[in-house]
Amino acid sequence: MKNKIFLSVLSITVLFACSNGNKDSSGEKQNMISQIDSLQKNMFNAKSMELDKNLAFKGIAAYQDFVKKFPEDSIHSAEYLFRMSDLLRAMGNYGKAIENLGQITKNYPSFKKLPECIFLQGYYSQEFFGDTIRAKEFYLQLISKYPTHAFAYDAKELMKMFGKSEQDIIKEFEKKEQEGKKK
């Protein structure tokens, strides 16, 4: 009889402890989301449209904390990694921006912006590092996985420009424009 009472009390205690942990976790998550929302609203000066770098650094730290604590929250974590990537790009940390986009493609394969993540990895590799080999890998991955997506078309067009000077690209564009006017 004592064993049954002990087991009953133990079971209730364990259940109570687990349910309180979930409430704390849920409350912490909502608190973090609220803090992030507040930072996002204030990160850009509405008049000048300039990024407040101090708030951007705080935003990046808040995004990182959320992703570390709640990696299973695929909706928020993937979106926060995406936003963090954009902030990092805006602040000139292109390598880390690419890394965050890669983390999304690896850990959140059902993220709605996945084609954009793959495209941006290629574009940043090409634009900021001049690495057309790596860019081509990302572009081909995008074209293979999402052949009808608008970013796949953009990737194909960008690959056509590999190795061409700005003047050559402008001449080609002008030539196509002239041909279009003749029709």
Domains delineated in the chain: 32-112 (1.25.40), 113-183 (no CATH)
CA distance 172 to 94: 29
DSSP 3-25: HHHHHHHHHHHHHHHHHHHHHHH
Quote helix, strand, coil % in the chain, to nearest 5: 80, 0, 20
Give the global pTM: 0.79
pLDDT score at 16: 39
pLDDT in tens, the chain (183 residues): 444 443 343 333 333 344 444 445 788 999 999 999 999 998 888 788 889 999 999 999 999 999 999 999 999 999 999 999 999 999 999 999 999 999 999 999 999 999 999 999 999 999 999 999 999 999 999 999 999 999 999 999 999 999 888 888 888 888 888 887 776
Confidence (pLDDT) at 26? 80
What is the Cα–Cα distance from 149 to 77, expressed in whole angstroms?
Answer: 24
